[in-house]
Amino acid sequence: MAASLEQSTVDALDHEPIDWKYKGLPSSWWGQTPAQVCRRRPSLFDDGAVSPVATLRTQPLVHNMVTMARWCRRRGVQLAPHGKTHMAPQLLARQLGAGAVAVTAATISQVRVFRAFGVRRIILANELVDVTGLRWLAAELDANPDFELTCWVDSVRGVQLMTAALTGRRRPLDVCVEVGQPGGRTGCRDAATVDAVARAVVDSDRLRLVGVAGYEAATGHEVSDAAVTAVAGYLQTLRDAVIRLRPMFETDEIMATAGGSTYFDLVADILTGWPDGMSVRTVVRSGCYLTHDDGLYARTTPLGRTSDIHSGGHFQPALSVWAQVLSRPEPDLAIVGMGRRDVSFDQDLPMPYGRPDSRVEKLNDQHAYLRLAPADQSLQVGDWLEFGVSHPCTVFDKWQLIPVLDADHRVVELVRTFF
């Protein structure tokens, strides 16, 4: 069942006037709606974009969606992309249209955003222990029979808190036991705890045990042989839990879910091919595939670092930040008007396009220090530069309205984010 949403609510975003709130965009657009702007297919820079400005590219977006959908079909897994990557209902609508079965959220606030746009199937990849959040969720589920939400549990205490808060519900809340790993983040650390939490869920009249969940990249994104072996071992413990808990599940179709943006190939290798008589749907939750990047995921994504015969192609970067040179204070240094307020820096610093021997060596809040190659003396104050990013999640959250460009840098869509 597709995780449909209310397309009319998404379409309404095209009719909200643009104003000064949206940084980087031309002031000539103020008072116009995105629909009016895009009808003209204007050149972003000819219309007067100001530095810095983030952009998306339509062709890589489409390519990445098609590539991921094809890969999932061929590997026999379902996709519930992590919505925290972009928090953009317009992009989520594209992903659902390409075959995604749900959206993944990290917090109850993110769930509320997606519900505002009518998303009917959500995975909350955390244990929800906030009483106010649980009561809101209970009311939302009871008022909307077509709304489905599955969340994690990793402690008996969590099961108790959820059961106490979910009073008066007409249907139980679906949960997966989360399997963790030493040194990782959340999740049960051993089989005995997994089993105890599962038993507590079965004993609760407010919860329903539907699967097992995990996050295999909780300890890092290395792709060395040792790291891959460790991830495979962790996923095997998750598989073992699914098989061991088989008699306890309260559903005809068990959910086994893992898979961020680095190891989803291993998830498909290990969490498929179940014993006869077991009906299991394997759900991967990658979010960064949609825009890919020029840093972390360029190095680590399975559809780039391997020759997977099921890939149908490699991902392409679709998100970048443009900025102007503000100063050339030294022969090999350019100061660019883009900083930590505008671009990600938690994994790698931004990468300048077209200048392979130059590098950003430092960011301030609003400035980038671009160290130039010795032979590169062509850059002048006022020049525009485009930068690839590393880890798109922490770029999207800095921009409320992002132009989508075609191959000629013409604006064909404006994407709104809700962080």
Structure-token pair, residue 258 = 């893992």
Structural contact between residues 178 and 213, judged by C-beta atoms closer than 8 angstroms: yes
Parallel/antiparallel/unpaired status of strands 359-363 and 103-105: unpaired
Residue 305's pLDDT is 62
pLDDT number for residue 153: 98
**What pLDDT does residue 379 have?**
95
Query: Distance of CA 25 to CAs 109, 286, 396, Å?
Result: 28, 30, 15
Count of beta carbons in the 10 Å neighbourhood of residue 326: 17
pTM for the full model?
Answer: 0.95
The first and second tokens of residue 73, run together, are 């079909």
Judged by average pLDDT, the poorest of 157-171, 202-216, 248-262, 391-405 is 157-171
1 pLDDT higher than 50: no
Domains along the chain? 7-57+315-416 (2.40.37.20), 102-286 (3.20.20.10)
Length reported for the chain: 419
The pLDDT of residue 356 = 87
Q: pLDDT tens across 235-275, in order?
A: 999 999 999 999 999 999 999 999 899 999 999 999 999 99
